[in-house]
Amino acid sequence: MCGIVGYTGHREAVPVLIDGLRRLEYRGYDSAGIVVPENGGLVLEKRAGTLDVLEQALSNSRFPATSGIGHTRWATHGAPTDVNAHPHTDCGGRFAVVHNGIIENYRQLRNWLKAEGHVFKSDTDTEVLPHLIEHYYRDDLYQAVRRALEQIEGSFAVLTLVTTEPGRLIVARRDSPLVVGLGEGENFIASDIPALLTYTRDTYLLNDGEMAEVTPDFIKVSDLNGNPVHKEIFCVNWECEQAEKGGYEHFMLKEIHEQPRALRDTLRGRIDQDGRRVVLKELNVDPDTVRNLKKIFITACGTAFHAGVVGKYIIEKMTRIPVEVDIASEFRYRDPLINPGDLVVVVSQSGETADTRAALREARRRGAHVIAITNVVGSSVAREADDVLYTWAGPEIAVASTKAYITQLAAFYLLALWLAGERGTLPDDEREAILHALREIDTGVSTLLADADQIAALAQRYKDQHGLFFIGRGLDFAVAMEGSLKLKEISYIHAEAYPAGELKHGTLALITEGVPVIALATQPDLFEKALSNVKEVKARGAEVVALTFEGHHDIEDLGDHLVYLPATHPVLAPILAVVPLQLFAYYAAIARGCSVDKPRNLAKSVTVE
Ligand code: M6R
C-alpha cells in the first residue's frame, strides 16, 4: 500500500514530508516523491527506489516552501519508475496530486481527457486526477477536487494542491485511510498515524466519503457533496511501533484484519456492472486459445501452492479442463508434459521466489502461455510472464502469508469464472450466483473476524499439544493444508493436513485419546462422507473442532467445538474457512510466546533455491 503525507504550516515543508515518509517505510514501497509550491510554480522531485535516493536528489537545494505533499508508492498501474512515481501533475504544472487506491475507470477518463487535449506523462491511473482537476478548476481547488472525484469509480485517499493557493490542501478519501493531524498554526495529513506522531497526537480520522480543506489555521471537513461534517478529535495514545501496526499487536494480525479490504481490491473492476461476467482486461489470451485449451498447470510454493490447490478444484469444476498442480521445486525438475498452447498459472506473493521463477521459465521454454498471479507489480514473475493478474493485497510484511493467500483465492475464482464464461461450461445462473456471492464475500470475512475471541479460546485450549490434524475432503482438504502450514510455521506445533478419506490407510493410528482434529465440512456433496470421518476419529477419542456452515445438525452432535461460517455459495467456502484457521495459528503462537511476524528459520521472500 502506498503512503501519503501532507503539511501546511510555518516550518519548511520538505523535511517534514521526508520525516513522515520515513515513518511509513515499514509498509514497503518502490518509489517516493514530494512536491511543494514555490515562486508561483511547483518544485517536484520523485524517484524510483528508496527514500535515500529521493533525499540525495534533494540534497543540494533548500526549499523555503511551508506546505507540500509527499508519497511512497507501491506500484499498481505502471512499473516502478521515476515517471510513474507520485506526485502527478496536470498539463500546466499547476496542480499536484498524490493518491492511494485504484481508479477503476481511469481508461475511459484518460481517453476522454486526451480527446480534450490533455497530455499524459505516466502509465498510472492516478494521473487522470490532476488533469480532471485542471479541467474543472475555476479559482477554487475545493470545488474542482469535488467535481473531479465525482467522476472517479474506485478507491482513493488523495491530497491535492495548486500553485495559486499555496498553504491550502484539499484532501479526500473513499475506501483508503486518511488522517488529519492537528497542530498549532500548522496541520498535517497522512495515510497512517505513524507519520504524524513526531508532531501531534490530536487527529481527525476521516471516514469514507469525507473530504477536508486544510490550511495552517483551520480544517473544514465535509462530505463529498460539500455538506459540512462535524468531527471529534481522536487522541492517539499508541506508541510509534504500535501505530505502525495500525494498533494491532503484530503485522500478521493487522494483515488478517485487512482481508475484507484486500478482497474488495482484488475484485474491483473485474466483474461487470450488472454482476454477470468476469472481465479480465489484463489477460491477452486469445479466444481461440481459451476455447481449445487442453490442459492447465498451476505451480507455486508454500501458501501460494495451497491457493493453487483450490484453483485446481474450482477450475476443473467450472471449466472441465484438466488441471495439474505442482510445487514449483518439483515442477521445474520433473520434465512436465507441457505442450505448446497449454496454460501455466504461476502464483507468488512476492513474485521473486526462486523455484517459482524457474518453473515459469521452464513453462515458457516449452511453449506454454504463462499467467502470473502475484502481488508485487514489476516483480520478476510479473515481468517474465505473458500475462499478470495482480492480487492488489498491498504489502504483506508478516512472514506468514494471510491476505496474499485470500486474494490469490479470489484471483483463482475470477480466473475460473472467466474461463467458464469464455468456454460456456457453467450455466449462466450458476455463474451469476457464484459472482453474486463473491461480491459479498468480504462481509463474511468481517463477520468471522468479529468472532476472533472464540478462536483465541480454542487456541489457548490446544496450545500445549504436540500435534494436531486438519482433515477435509475436496476444497476442504485444500484449506486444511493451509491451516496446517500456518500453525506449523508460527506456533511450531506439529500439524498434518489429511484428506479425510485417507486416514484409515495409516494415519488413524495416530488418533488417540484427546488428540485434536480440526475437521472441515463445508461441501454439501461431501458432507455425509466428512461426517463418517468425524465419527471415525471420535471413536478413537479425538477431540473434534468442526468447521461448517450453520444448520448441519449431525456434525453439531459430534463436534466437541463448532466454528460456524456465515452462509455463502459453498464453492466459495475456502475464502471463509481459512480465516478461523489463520486466527487459530496466530493465537496459538501468541499463547506459546512465539515470534509471530518473524518465525524462526524463515524468510519472507525465498530468492534462493
Ligand atoms: O512469495 P511467494 O508467494 O512466492 O512465497 C511462497 C512461499 O515462500 C510462502 O507462501 C511461504 O510458504 C509463507 N511463509 C507461508 O506463510
> pLDDT of 410-425, one tens digit each?
999 999 999 999 999 9
Peptide bond into 87 cis (omega under 30): yes
pLDDT band at 1; cut points 50, 70, 90:
low
466-475 pLDDT, tens digit per residue, is 999 999 999 9
Whole-number pLDDT of residue 523: 95
Does the pLDDT at position 388 exceed 70?
A: yes
User: What are the Cα distances from residue 148, in Å, to 113, 136, 186, 558?
Assistant: 12, 7, 27, 58
d(CA 312, CA 329): 18
Lowest model confidence (mean pLDDT) among 106-110, 195-199, 244-248: 244-248
Does the pLDDT at position 369 exceed 90?
A: yes
User: What are the Cα distances from residue 499, in Å, to 15, 56, 313?
Assistant: 57, 56, 14
User: What dotted CATH number matches 251-441?
Assistant: 3.40.50.10490
Instruction: Work out whether strand 169-174 and strand 210-214 pair parallel, antiparallel, or are unpaired.
Output: antiparallel
Does the pLDDT at position 67 exceed 80?
A: yes
d(CA 144, CA 132): 8
- Examine domains 3-237 and 251-441 and report if their fold is the same: no
Which tops the pLDDT comparison, 405 or 74? 405
Provide the 3-class DSSP secondary structure of residue 165. coil
Q: What is the dihedral of CA 427, 429, 433, 436, to 10 degrees?
A: 110
Does the pLDDT at position 250 exceed 90?
A: yes
Are 68 and 168 within 8 A, CB to CB? Answer: no
489 lines ligand 1 (CB under 6 A): yes
Lowest model confidence (mean pLDDT) among 401-405, 408-412, 549-553: 549-553
Cell of 540: 478413537
Handedness of CA 274, 277, 282, 288 (dihedral sign): negative
Residue 300 Cα, ligand 1 centroid: separation in angstroms?
9
348 lines ligand 1 (CB under 6 A): yes
Residue 277 Cα, ligand 1 centroid: separation in angstroms?
31
Provide the 3-class DSSP secondary structure of residue 531. helix
400 lines ligand 1 (CB under 6 A): yes
The rounded percent of the chain whose pLDDT value lies above 70 is 100
Ligand 1 atom 8: residue of nearest CA: 302
Does the pLDDT at position 357 exceed 70?
A: yes
**Cβ atoms < 10 Å from Cβ of 329:** 19
Ligand 1 atom 14: residue of nearest CA: 400
Are 408 and 301 within 8 A, CB to CB? Answer: no
The whole-model pTM stands at 0.80
What is the H or E stretch that residue 171 is in?
Answer: strand 169-174
Strands laid side by side in the 543-549 sheet: 494-499, 467-472, 516-521, 543-549, 561-565
Does the pLDDT at position 283 exceed 80?
A: yes
Does the pLDDT at position 85 exceed 70?
A: yes
d(CA 4, CA 583): 30
Ligand 1, closest atom to CA 605? 1
356 lines ligand 1 (CB under 6 A): yes
Residue 25 Cα, ligand 1 centroid: separation in angstroms?
22
User: What CATH superfamily classification does 451-609 receive?
Assistant: Glucose-6-phosphate isomerase like protein; domain 1 (3.40.50.10490)
Cell of 421: 464464461
Written out in words, the top-level CATH class of the domain with range 3-237 is: alpha beta
User: What are the Cα distances from residue 198, in Å, to 201, 226, 247, 381, 585?
Assistant: 8, 31, 17, 39, 35
Whole-number pLDDT of residue 505: 95
604 is catalytic: yes
Provide the 3-class DSSP secondary structure of residue 454. helix
Ligand 1 atom 11: residue of nearest CA: 302
Whole-number pLDDT of residue 572: 98
Give the residue, out of 305, 310, 350, 482, with the most ligand 1 atoms within 8 A of its beta carbon, to mutate for a pocket test. Answer: 350
Does the pLDDT at position 271 exceed 70?
A: yes
Reading phi first (left if > 0) and then psi (alpha if -120 to 50, else beta), residue 320 is in left
For 449, residues 6+ apart whose C-beta sits below 8 A from its C-beta are 256, 257, 259, 260, 579, 583
- Alpha helix (H) residue ranges in 165-250: 240-244
Ligand 1, closest atom to CA 408? 3
Q: Mean of the pLDDT values across residues 483-510?
A: 95
**Bridge partners, residue 467, by sequence:** 494
Give the angle 349-353-358 at the CA atoms, nearest 5°: 125
Query: Which residue from 356, 379, 1 is spatially nearest to 175, judged by alpha carbons?
Result: 1
Domains of the chain, by residue range, sit at 3-237, 251-441, 451-609
Handedness of CA 3, 151, 134, 139 (dihedral sign): negative
Report the number of secondary-structure helices (H) and strands (E) in the chain.
21, 24
Provide the 3-class DSSP secondary structure of residue 325. strand
222-244 pLDDT, tens digit per residue, is 999 999 999 999 888 777 777 77
Lowest model confidence (mean pLDDT) among 191-195, 550-554, 594-598: 550-554
Cell of 169: 490542501
Are 522 and 549 within 8 A, CB to CB? Answer: yes
Ligand 1, closest atom to CA 404? 3
Ligand 1, closest atom to CA 400? 16
